[in-house]
């Protein structure tokens, strides 16, 4: 190894160290920003090192430099614009798009390497990693674009199942695997193109039948895929920085996928294969019955204003109505009256892991008030009012009993509070398609309205009480 | 199986374990920024995209180099900027001590004012 090789390799190690340390600093909101800066510094080092390597190789043509720099500037500009302008509610779509381009780029690295070496004969082990890189990258690319389209509402968010869609999915998988086996035995660019098309088709038909509420799991899974594809690209070009970074992302995506699936009480296989929300989740189970008590803004405001401790339970309905600023305003008015306010965040509130926390942080809610499920559940028993906004299945006490679609799902113990106010448009079912027993609890009052309107009314009513 | 490949696999497995260890400590509150940060880290594929240029000598090679560089650069730049933007919003209290941050805190309408942005960059952590 020449001195130049030594220096560049050590710089890559330094970059990888920065990535690990940056992720480590993400373990607390107080240090997380520094973590992102450390990670950014690592990336700058890695890219500068690569630039030096590229220049040192001396084989880059003028056209090569121009396309590389033009591409980077164009992509970087687009990324910068998107990152600066994106609404926090649209964060899942953006993350999905970044997954798509990351996976796509990884696939392209593999494709280029394969095409370049195809004429001269490639070692078997390299072929295996190239194929894995291209396949995973292509699946991630098309799957993430479909996921982003669903989240953005460009594609119907409901599960899309067309006649034979399952067959197409299976066929695409078989073609991809078969083609891959063939390529290991006999290098062929034509077969490479076929398996790329098959992988793209597989990505599309994998994500289309998955319903909108399963998106937190899907995004996490695609994130893990992207990381794996990047690591495979690292094997192909023999670059440790890519291998380490890809493995870190793969681990992160894997953990989040598991957490999300657990929080939704579903196996990953179950989500990918589909079924939930497509009508075959079993017959709706009747609740115990009982009367629903309806409440108006003034009465609800009195309950809230004279409470000592209030827990707000925000669900996707709150994010969908973009009412995070209204809820933060209500909370600050209550706090001025000396009411203790905190937020109970279920892991799958929102459209991606931790999404609700970002929305509330944007609305200026201090992060110590954002409580995770395990932390807040014991506190419900000494809570005067639990205010449920746009959350349904995650508050259903039926989950503690076996024999219904939500059985075993981790829930927020909202029913332990002394009284409960639920803001909801109607008595409609949640995603699991069953009645929520919480709504007929004698302690519960239903405030039928949309989240934004209800919160504005409540805030105004509480202010009137103060005056 | 070459020694090089064995080394690569060892590195991959160890990095995976380090990843599991480090990331399982991240609180749920930060899961969205975590995913976004992980996203920017896989932007390292930009290094791979740049290395395409070293061996690209025909039209196909140039096209692949261009698209890969564009994709990867979008990933890496966008990822870091949006993660930073999100993390800046996480505050310990409603009325932060640094005076410069108050402007950002009071407005609270989702549009981060320039003052807050600059303060954030200088202050390191809010």
- Token readout for A393 is 């299945």
Rounded distance between C-alpha atoms, residue A432 and residue A394, angstroms: 10
- Work out the average pLDDT over A332-340: 92
- ipTM greater than 0.85, yes or no? yes
- Work out the average pLDDT over A79-96: 93
Q: Which of A336, A294, A277 is nearest to A421 (CA)?
A: A294
Q: Within a 13 Å sphere around the CA of A350, how many CA atoms are in the beta-carbon half?
A: 28
DSSP secondary structure letters along A138-206: HHHHHHHHHHHHHHHTSS-SS----TTHHHHHHHHHHHHHHHHHHHHHS--HHHHHHHHHHHHHHHHHH
Q: Is the pLDDT at A23 greater than 90, yes or no?
A: yes
Residue of A113, A393, A413, A441 marked catalytic: A393
Report how many Cβ contacts below 8 Å link chain A to chain B: 418
With beta carbons less than 8 A apart as the criterion, state whether B38 and A253 touch.
Answer: yes
Rounded distance between C-alpha atoms, residue A345 and residue A355, angstroms: 10
Q: Which residue has the tokens 């196996």?
A: A267
Q: Is the pLDDT at A218 greater than 50, yes or no?
A: yes
Would the CA dihedral through A163, A165, A170, A174 be positive or negative?
Answer: positive
Burial of A309 (0-12, 13-18, 19+ CB in 10 A): middle
Q: Which of A422, A250, A271, A259 is nearest to A354 (CA)?
A: A259
Q: Is B16 helix (H, G, I), strand (E, B) or coil?
A: helix
What pLDDT digit, counting tens, does each position of A236-258 carry?
998 999 999 999 999 999 999 99
With beta carbons less than 8 A apart as the criterion, state whether B68 and A108 touch.
Answer: yes
Tell me what pLDDT residue B94 has.
72
Instruction: State residue A284 phi and psi, 5-degree precision.
Output: -65, 135
Q: Output the 3-class SS for A329-342.
A: HHHHHHHHCCCEEE
Rounded distance between C-alpha atoms, residue A235 and residue A133, angstroms: 9
Q: Which residues contact A26 (CB under 8 A, 6 or more apart)?
A: A32, A35, A36, B26, B30, B33, B34, B37
- N-term to C-term CA, chain B: 50
Would the CA dihedral through A204, A210, A215, A220 be positive or negative?
Answer: negative
Tell me what pLDDT residue A124 has.
65
| Number of C-beta neighbours around residue A352 at 10 A | 28
Q: Is the pLDDT at A187 greater than 60, yes or no?
A: yes
Q: Is the pLDDT at A377 greater than 90, yes or no?
A: yes
With beta carbons less than 8 A apart as the criterion, state whether A413 and A336 touch.
Answer: no
Q: Which of A401, A414, A314 is nearest to A365 (CA)?
A: A314
Average pLDDT over chain B reads: 79
pTM: 0.86
Q: Is the pLDDT at B77 greater than 90, yes or no?
A: yes
Q: Which of A229, A150, A358 is nearest to B39 (CA)?
A: A229
Tell me what pLDDT residue A292 has.
84
* A 81-140 → B contacts, CB under 8 A: 82-84, 86-88, 91, 94-95, 98-99, 101-102, 104-106, 108-109, 111-112, 115-116, 125
* A 391-430 → B contacts, CB under 8 A: none
Tell me what pLDDT residue B110 has.
41
DSSP state of A291: P
Instruction: State residue A203 phi and psi, 5-degree precision.
Output: -60, -45
Tell me what pLDDT residue A467 has.
62
Q: Which residue of A has its CA nearest to B38?
A: A249
Bridge partners (DSSP) listed for residue A448: A424
Q: Which of A321, A320, A318, A302 is nearest to A310 (CA)?
A: A302
**Cβ separation B30–A362 shorter than 8 A:** no
Q: Where are the alpha helices (DSSP H) in chain B?
A: 3-23, 31-41, 45-55, 59-88, 99-107, 114-123
User: Comparing A73-82, A161-170, B102-111, which segment has the lowest mean pLDDT?
Assistant: B102-111
* A 428-457 → B contacts, CB under 8 A: none
Rounded distance between C-alpha atoms, residue A375 and residue A352, angstroms: 20
- Token readout for A33 is 């920003």
With beta carbons less than 8 A apart as the criterion, state whether A233 and A214 touch.
Answer: no
Tell me what pLDDT residue B17 has.
96
What pLDDT digit, counting tens, does each position of A102-159 carry?
999 999 999 999 988 876 656 666 788 999 999 999 999 999 999 999 888 888 877 7
Query: Which range has the top average pLDDT, A260-264, A269-273, A381-385, B114-118?
Result: A381-385
Closest-CA distance of chain B to residue A153, Å: 20
Q: Is the pLDDT at A466 greater than 90, yes or no?
A: no
| Number of C-beta neighbours around residue A46 at 10 A | 27
Tell me what pLDDT residue A175 has.
94
Q: Is the pLDDT at B113 greater than 60, yes or no?
A: no
Residues of B in contact with A95 (CB under 8 A): 32, 35-36, 39
**Smallest Cβ distance to A33: which of B16, B76, B87?**
B87
What pLDDT digit, counting tens, does each position of A256-313 carry?
999 988 888 778 777 776 544 433 334 444 445 567 888 888 899 999 999 999 999 9
Tell me what pLDDT residue A51 has.
94
Tell me what pLDDT residue A319 has.
80
Q: Residue A386: in which H helix or E strand, if any?
A: strand A385-389
Tell me what pLDDT residue A427 has.
79
A32 interfaces chain B, CB cutoff of 8 Å: yes
Tell me what pLDDT residue A274 has.
58
Average pLDDT over chain A reads: 88
- Token readout for A133 is 């890189």
Tell me what pLDDT residue A266 has.
77
Q: Is the pLDDT at A360 greater than 80, yes or no?
A: yes
Bridge partners (DSSP) listed for residue A422: A388, A446
DSSP state of B24: T
Percent of residues, chain A, with pLDDT higher than 70? 94
| Residues in chain B, overall count | 126
């Amino acid at each position: 190894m020449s001195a130049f090789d030594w220096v560049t390799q050590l710089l890559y190690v330094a970059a990888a160290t920065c990535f690990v340390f940056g992720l480590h600093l993400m373990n607390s909101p107080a240090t997380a920003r520094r973590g992102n800066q450390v990670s950014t510094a690592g990336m700058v080092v890695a890219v500068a090192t690569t630039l030096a390597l590229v220049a040192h190789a001396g084989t880059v043509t003028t056209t090569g430099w121009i396309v590389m720099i033009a591409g980077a500037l164009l992509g970087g500009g687009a990324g910068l614009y998107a990152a600066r302008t994106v609404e926090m509610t649209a964060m899942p779509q953006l993350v999905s798009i970044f997954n798509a381009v990351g996976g796509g780029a990884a696939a392209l690295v593999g494709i280029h390497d394969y095409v370049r070496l195809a004429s001269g004969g490639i070692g078997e082990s390299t072929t295996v990693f190239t194929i894995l890189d291209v396949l995973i990258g292509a699946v991630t690319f098309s799957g993430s674009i479909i996921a982003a389209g669903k989240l953005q509402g460009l594609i119907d968010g409901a599960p899309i199942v067309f006649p034979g869609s399952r067959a197409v999915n299976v066929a695409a998988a078989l073609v991809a695997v078969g083609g891959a086996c063939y390529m290991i035995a006999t290098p062929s660019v034509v077969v490479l193109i076929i398996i790329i098309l098959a992988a793209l088709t597989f990505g599309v038909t994998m994500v289309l039948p998955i319903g909108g509420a399963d998106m937190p799991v899907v995004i996490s899974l695609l994130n893990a895929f992207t990381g794996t594809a990047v690591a495979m690209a690292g094997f192909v070009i023999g670059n440790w920085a890519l291998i380490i970074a890809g493995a870190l992302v793969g681990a992160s995506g894997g953990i989040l996928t598991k957490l999300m699936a657990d929080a939704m009480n579903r196996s990953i296989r179950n989500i990918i294969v589909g079924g939930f929300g497509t009508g075959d989740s079993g017959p709706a189970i009747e609740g115990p019955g009982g009367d629903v008590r309806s409440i108006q803004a003034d009465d609800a405001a009195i309950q809230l204003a004279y409470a000592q401790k209030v827990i707000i339970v925000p669900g996707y309905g709150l994010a969908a109505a973009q009412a995070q600023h209204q809820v933060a305003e209500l909370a600050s008015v209550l706090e001025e009256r000396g009411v203790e306010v905190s937020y109970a965040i279920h892991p799958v509130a929102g459209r991606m892991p931790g999404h609700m926390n970002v929305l509330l942080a944007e609305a200026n809610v201090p992060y110590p008030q954002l409580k995770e499920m395990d932390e807040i559940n014991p506190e419900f028993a000494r809570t005067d009012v639990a205010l449920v906004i746009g959350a349904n299945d995650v508050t259903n006490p039926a989950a503690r009993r076996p024999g219904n679609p939500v059985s075993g799902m981790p829930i927020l113990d909202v029913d332990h509070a002394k009284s409960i106010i639920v803001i909801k448009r109607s008595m409609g079912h949640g995603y699991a398609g069953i009645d929520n027993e919480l709504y007929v609890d004698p302690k519960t009052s239903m405030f039928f309205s949309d989240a934004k309107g209800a919160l504005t009314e409540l805030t105004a009513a509480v202010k009137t009480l103060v005056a | 199986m070459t020694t090089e490949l064995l080394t690569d696999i060892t590195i991959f497995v160890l990095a995976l374990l380090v990843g599991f260890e480090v990331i399982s400590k991240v609180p749920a509150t930060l899961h969205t920024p975590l995913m976004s940060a992980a996203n920017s880290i896989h932007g390292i594929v930009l290094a791979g995209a740049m290395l395409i240029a070293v061996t690209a000598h025909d039209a196909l090679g140039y096209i692949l180099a261009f698209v890969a560089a564009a994709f990867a650069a979008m990933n890496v730049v966008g990822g870091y900027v949006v993660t930073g933007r999100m993390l800046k919003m996480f505050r310990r209290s409603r009325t932060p001590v640094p005076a410069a941050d108050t402007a950002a805190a009071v407005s609270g309408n989702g549009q981060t004012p320039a003052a807050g942005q600059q303060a954030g960059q200088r202050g390191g952590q809010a």
